[in-house]
Structure 1
Amino acid sequence: MSTQIEIFRQLLCKLGQEIRDTLYQHQQRNTEELSAIAAKTQADTIYEIDKVSEELILAWLKENWPAHSPVRLIMEGIEDDQFVTFPANAEKNELLHQLIIDPIDGTRGLMYDKRPAWALIGLAPHILERQVTLEDIEVAVMTELPTSKQFISEQLSATRFSDGETAFYRVSKNLISNEEHEVPHRLSKATDLKHGFASIAKFFPQCKAALAQFEEELYAELTPENETQEALIFDDQYISTGGQLYELIAGHDRLVIDVRPLAFEKANLPLALSCHPYDLCTALVAKAAGVVIELPGQETLDIPLDTTTPVSWIAYANPMLAEKIRPVVSRLIQKHF
């Protein structure tokens, strides 16, 4: 195991914990106050609850990031043309890393105290010769941001080494007693969607009908004729990419498809209400846990580390399920979008 990679994993786990603990305290504030719009950027709408975490991250990195490893920060709330580094004013040719963060993935659910959100962090090497992508991430940490009535929080992390080998970690913490323990991981063995959860992302009114039509035809093709009258596949619209990945890792969900950018583009609609690279920056965690994550028609996540690129993605709970249903998924995506 690379000592340096493990040091960075532990460091970023501490950052995730700091975000979680600070937001947990703020959850006692008035919902209307937290849900007020603070700003709008190219990437997304920024709410007051987002500002809390963004300010915390900047202060934490200034205080804790090792000066001998200059890093560029890419984060929701920072425009892509802004150049924010730690230590401050580091030159591009001095950088060793790129750090991509979504401080609160699932803001809308958390600010109304409905469902946990996730703090997502990915660390990649800085590469001068080419554009750095999600595929280059070597350390990823996702930390559960609980609702006010929830006192158990999970943190999942992963590392990838130069030989391609990965390591996966999953711990749970009691926020009252501060007790922490490892969570056993069991990869889903499902080979179909019957009696399981699957979801096609359609969170907003835009293109909901088109996405639902794709969803209905997909499930019809995957369901035997003699079982079409039964409710065999359950839907769960978790408005958080990190949350969706967690449900796959935990074995709760079997399939997640987010092709909103394809649907929006076909309908000539703005692509802002899409998944972005910072939303998917902890894909390494899911991959290390055995989940299959890919782009439509492409297995590698060759997506630049930024806050604005629209991303369509597909995730299967395990390789067996992916091999079995991928052909149908791919064909119907091409047909509809």
Structure 2
Amino acid sequence: MIRAANELLITIRQIHEAIRDEVVATCERSSLQALSEIVAEQAGDTIFAIDRISEQVLLQYFERLGNHWSFLLVAEGLGEDGLMVFPPDHDPAEVELVIIIDPIDGTRGLMYQKRAAWILTGVAPNRGSGTNLADIELAVQTEIPLVKQHLSDTLWTVAEQPVHGERYNRLTGERTPLHPQPSQAQTIAQGYGNISRFFPGVRAELAAIDDELILRTLGPAEAGKVQAFEDQYICSGGQLYELIMGHDRWIADLRPLTEPLLTARGQASGLGCHPYDLCTELIARKAGIIVTDEHGQQLAAPLDVSTNMTWIGYANQAIYEQVAPTLMILLQQHLPTTA
């Protein structure tokens, strides 16, 4: 168990709020061109100017955190390996905690002011090189709102405690309790859900699986009617939030499974989902969301910045039973390397 977990939670939430406020303030005073400038390529992802803002605040606060806990910080942007030890003189193998964070998940949507982004943090007791997502005992995710958006949500959980939430009004400073409730619908019909296909390369293949899943599950559509809807939210933390809040009924991010298709065409592997993108999936699971990998198992990726991850989320058991068996069959048919 994490020592003084509730005290650590308070500190993590303060760090999130500092990052949120600084990023929003910068978005208010900066041009789109300035925010979207590419400043680096690290760990298989692109670092934009807006990312540097959150990283500066993050390091400032985590240095202070190192006065109370020893930890290995895992975050994109901390050099090529994405690792930093606090306090600096500690042996990484001997530190108390592993903290994995994504200071801005959903950078692309936020810097163009299209959609809110999220700050994600997961904390696990240090279990050595085998420490993974399943070891996380404290998780917090905080919304970075658009400039024109005055409300910001935060969700968190600690060890055996339930999921908590808060809605913050950045204009008035008012804070109100937020009570997440995943969808209780028994079918995906007339609901939101989809297979993620954010980027060019294999959109056609992923869309074909999505279309066939809907056809096999709900049957042919009637003339003039729509069976289900989709929402391509380019932000894994945001996708988890949509499931937790009852907006979406299922999500499948299968991008790593399509790499053999790209390789066969002589194309480079696309951008995938990494452990820091899913470091708050504990919140979703404790809220009642069923989160699995492509084999139906709990996520257990190492806490690093490079592992590509497949994940699938279902709002409840009924949705899981309706979608999962068919989806597994389609994966074996269209992406046979997953069998």
Q: Indicate the TM-score class for this superposition, using the shorter chain for normalisation.
A: over 0.9
1-structure distance, mates of 2:3, 2:42: 38
Identity %: 37
Structure-1 residue corresponding to 2:299? 301
Question: Which amino acid is the alignment partner of residue 320 of structure 2?
Answer: A
Kept in 2, the 8 Å contact 1:172–1:181? The answer is: yes
Structure-1 residue corresponding to 2:155? 156
**2 and 32 in structure 1: CA distance in 2 versus 1, 3 angstrom threshold:** closer
* RMSD (Å) for aligned C-alpha atoms: 1.7
Residues 89-144 of structure 1: CA deviation (Å, up to 9, x unaligned) = 2112430101101111000000011110001111111113x511111111111000
Kept in 2, the 8 Å contact 1:187–1:250? The answer is: yes
Question: Which amino acid is the alignment partner of residue 147 of structure 1?
Answer: L
Alignment of structure 1 residues 11-30 onto 2, 5 Å: 11-28=11-28, 29-30=30-31
Kept in 2, the 8 Å contact 1:220–1:228? The answer is: no
Structure-2 residue corresponding to 1:137? 136
1:239 to 218, 234, 240: 234
1-structure distance, mates of 2:148, 2:99: 31
2-structure distance, mates of 1:265, 1:295: 18
- Say how many residue pairs are matched: 331
2-structure distance, mates of 1:265, 1:116: 32
2-structure distance, mates of 1:152, 1:16: 15
Alignment of structure 1 residues 177-326 onto 2, 5 Å: 177-225=172-220, 227=222, 230-268=225-263, 269-326=267-324
Pairwise CA distance, 1:303: 0.4
Pairwise CA distance, 1:68: 4.2
Unaligned runs of 5+ in 2: none
Counterpart secondary structure, 2:242: helix
Kept in 2, the 8 Å contact 1:72–1:95? The answer is: yes
Question: Which amino acid is the alignment partner of residue 156 of structure 1?
Answer: L
Structure-2 residue corresponding to 1:36? 37
Counterpart secondary structure, 1:267: helix
1-structure distance, mates of 2:161, 2:294: 24
Structure-2 residue corresponding to 1:172? 167
2-structure distance, mates of 1:329, 1:200: 10
**329 and 149 in structure 1: CA distance in 2 versus 1, 3 angstrom threshold:** same
Residue 103 (str. 1) matches residue 103 (str. 2): yes
Question: Which amino acid is the alignment partner of residue 192 of structure 1?
Answer: T
Pairwise CA distance, 1:66: 4.5
Kept in 2, the 8 Å contact 1:99–1:124? The answer is: yes
Kept in 2, the 8 Å contact 1:80–1:307? The answer is: no
Structure-2 residue corresponding to 1:59? 60
Pairwise CA distance, 1:228: 7.6
2-structure distance, mates of 1:171, 1:135: 25
2-structure distance, mates of 1:159, 1:319: 24
Structure-1 residue corresponding to 2:119? 119
Pairwise CA distance, 1:225: 4.0
Unaligned runs of 5+ in 1: none
Kept in 2, the 8 Å contact 1:139–1:159? The answer is: yes
Kept in 2, the 8 Å contact 1:73–1:99? The answer is: yes
Kept in 1, the 8 Å contact 2:121–2:280? The answer is: yes
Kept in 2, the 8 Å contact 1:72–1:85? The answer is: yes
2-structure distance, mates of 1:12, 1:103: 12
**3 and 62 in structure 1: CA distance in 2 versus 1, 3 angstrom threshold:** closer
Pairwise CA distance, 1:166: 4.2
Structure-2 residue corresponding to 1:7? 7
Mean Cα displacement is larger for which, 4-13 or 76-85? 76-85
Pairwise CA distance, 1:264: 2.3
Kept in 2, the 8 Å contact 1:49–1:111? The answer is: yes
Pairwise CA distance, 1:326: 1.1
1-structure distance, mates of 2:261, 2:224: 32
Kept in 1, the 8 Å contact 2:82–2:305? The answer is: no
2-structure distance, mates of 1:173, 1:71: 29
Question: Which amino acid is the alignment partner of residue 298 of structure 2?
Answer: T
Pairwise CA distance, 1:67: 2.7
What is the TM-score when the length of structure 2 is the normalising length? 0.93
